[in-house]
A and B are shown apart, each in its own frame.
Chain A
Amino acid sequence: MHEWALAEGVISTASRVAAEEGLEEITEIVVMVGELQQVDREALLFALEQQRTPNMMKTRFRIDPIPARMRCRVCGEEWNFKREALDNDEAEAVHFLPEIAHAFIECPNCGSPDFEVTEGRGIWLASVRGVRMAG
């Protein structure tokens, strides 16, 4: 389960933010999950729950899916990523390493693999809410 490692990154980043901001308790963590990486929401949530730190005992984890958008660097075409564009092996490779999408996806207008993922590539920590230490 690769979601475990992604959750680990979220937890350690949130812990660092909490330490920097002097939060003694984290009440909410919001994670954005880009559709390109096809992260399993349930698996990610489970992994986050399992890796709670002492200041995350009451944390609510919110996971928001973000559609993946692409823009061709050659002709400017923009389009949405669709999971059906990939077969299972391809989807799995992109799941591990989203950049591998460049091997399997091309611009629907001009056929170029030179596109940028403008939104919804991978997973990122959007916000950390908490309670500041007194004094």
Chain B
Amino acid sequence: MGRRVGLLDLDLTSPSTHLILGVDGLQPIEDKGIIPPRVHGLSYISIVLFSPEELIPLRGVDISNAIIELLAITRWEDLDYLIVDMPPGIGDEVLDIIRLMGRSFFLLVSTPSPLALETVGKLLFLLLELKAPILGVVENMATKPTSEVKRRLEELEVAYLGAIGYDPELDDALGHVDRVMRTRFMEDVGKLAGEVESRLHKGVHRQ
């Protein structure tokens, strides 16, 4: 309990964490760099703090430059965990994090859909090839007790961390953190968080 947690939304072209957190009109604090503002106890950085409304079309090199800029100017406090939310797939964001944040552990999320599993599978192969530490995979929006995700992971010898059940009430709660916290979705997330933390403390072996 009582961990100091930062959240860095690195989905620069389609950020969404601000919608879940109900962030509106929040400004970065300028002091020898950027101090992440606090949102519901999280130290929070997203591109929406700098440009809330606008559509920002960015290509690869722009994305890399923006990520370097954000990492260089942000002054995170002394955190227990910094969670970096990434867009799906193996685009520039993932490659930059592997290149620039060498101490990161990867936690992958897949829905049971074979389409999502295909994308996550590619990312897994990339991470395994680069010997990046993988915490495991979480199955999101699970609808069935038997899991294709789990079966596929066993083949790859990657940990299946558990499932978050499909919660039709989640969408209505978005933007209202107190309501989000009371959803079945968050109940499942809470269980997984314990599992993830104990794995981090045991030390994830680098493949």
Residues of A bordering B, CB below 8 Å = 1-2, 4-6, 8-9, 93, 96-100, 102-104, 113-114, 116, 121-122
Chain A: minimal CB distance from B75 (Å): 7
Contacts of B62 in A (CB 8 A): 99, 102
A/B interface sample: 20 pairs, CB < 8 A:
A1-B30, A1-B31, A1-B32, A2-B30, A2-B33, A4-B32, A5-B33, A5-B72, A6-B72, A98-B65, A99-B56, A99-B58, A99-B63, A99-B66, A100-B54, A102-B56, A102-B57, A102-B58, A104-B54, A116-B61
In the bound complex, do residue A96 and residue B56 qualify as a contact, i.e. CB atoms below 8 Å apart?
no
Name B30's closest neighbour in chain A (CB-CB): A2
Contacts of A1 in B (CB 8 A): 30-32
In the bound complex, do residue A100 and residue B56 qualify as a contact, i.e. CB atoms below 8 Å apart?
yes
Contacts of B73 in A (CB 8 A): 2, 5-6, 96
In the bound complex, do residue B56 and residue A103 qualify as a contact, i.e. CB atoms below 8 Å apart?
yes
Known contacts A4-B32, A99-B66, A102-B62: A114-B50 contact under CB 8 Å: no
Contacts of B63 in A (CB 8 A): 99
In the bound complex, do residue A121 and residue B33 qualify as a contact, i.e. CB atoms below 8 Å apart?
no
Please tell me the size bucket of the interface on B: 20 to 34
Contacts of B12 in A (CB 8 A): 99
Contacts of A100 in B (CB 8 A): 47, 50-51, 54, 56
Interface centre among B31, B50, B63 (most CB of A within 10 A): B50
In the bound complex, do residue A97 and residue B50 qualify as a contact, i.e. CB atoms below 8 Å apart?
yes
Contacts of B32 in A (CB 8 A): 1-2, 4-5, 8
Interface presence of B132 (CB below 8 A):
no
Q: Is the interface of A mostly helix, strand, loop or mixed?
A: helix
Contacts of A9 in B (CB 8 A): 72
Chain A: minimal CB distance from B176 (Å): 27
Contacts of A4 in B (CB 8 A): 32-33
Name A50's closest neighbour in chain B (CB-CB): B32
In the bound complex, do residue A122 and residue B65 qualify as a contact, i.e. CB atoms below 8 Å apart?
yes
Choose from A8, A96, A121 the contact partner of B65 (Cβ within 8 Å): A121
In the bound complex, do residue B31 and residue A122 qualify as a contact, i.e. CB atoms below 8 Å apart?
no
Interface presence of B23 (CB below 8 A):
no
Choose from A98, A114, A116 the contact partner of B69 (Cβ within 8 Å): A98
In the bound complex, do residue B50 and residue A93 qualify as a contact, i.e. CB atoms below 8 Å apart?
yes
A103 and B56 alpha carbons, distance in the complex (Å): 5
In the bound complex, do residue B34 and residue A2 qualify as a contact, i.e. CB atoms below 8 Å apart?
yes
Known contacts A2-B73, A9-B72, A113-B57: A96-B34 contact under CB 8 Å: yes
Name A4's closest neighbour in chain B (CB-CB): B32
Known contacts A5-B72, A96-B73, A97-B66: A103-B30 contact under CB 8 Å: no
Beyond the given A97-B50, A99-B62, could you list 5 further A-B residue pairs with CB under 8 A, ordered by the A residue number? Answer: A2-B32, A8-B33, A99-B58, A100-B54, A114-B59
Name B61's closest neighbour in chain A (CB-CB): A116
A90 and B117 alpha carbons, distance in the complex (Å): 40
Chain B: minimal CB distance from A135 (Å): 34
Interface centre among A9, A99, A104, A116 (most CB of B within 10 A): A99
Contacts of A122 in B (CB 8 A): 65, 69
